Structure 1
Amino acid sequence: MNVELPLVVVLGLLVWGAIKFLGVRVWLVVVIALFGFYLADTFLAPAIDNGTRNGVETVNGNHD
C-alpha cells in the first residue's frame, strides 16, 4: 500500500509537532522559512535542489 502526501503536508506536520511538543517558537519557524526562501534565490539553489532530489531518490530506493 502506497500513501502519497505532498511535501508541504509532511513539513507542516513536522512544524506543528515541533511547536506543540518541542516548544519551538512560532517566530523561529517563520525565520527559518523566510531564510529558505532567501536561499532559493541565491547561487546555492541548484546545489540544494540536486542534494534534495538525490536524498529523496536514496530514501525511495530509486537507484538507476
Structure 2
Amino acid sequence: MPSLNVTFTDDELEEIRQAATDTSLKTYVHDSALNAARTRKALVAQLARQVAEKSAVLNERLA
C-alpha cells in the first residue's frame, strides 16, 4: 500500500507527540486523518439533507 510523506515542523510534531500519549504516532496520525475525512463526509451529507429539506419546502410554496 502506498504511503504519504507528510512534513511537519518541529513544533507541530511535538504537538502531535504530546497528543498521542496512549498510542504510536503512526496509529494516531492514521486515526486522526480518517476521523477528519469521515467527519467531513458526514457534515457534507448533513448539509445536503438540510438543503434538500429547505428546497422541498420552498418548492411546495411555489407550487
Q: Normalised by the size of structure 2, how large is the TM-score?
A: 0.32
Greater Rg by CA: 2
Relative contact order, CA 8 A, sep 6+: which one is greater? 2
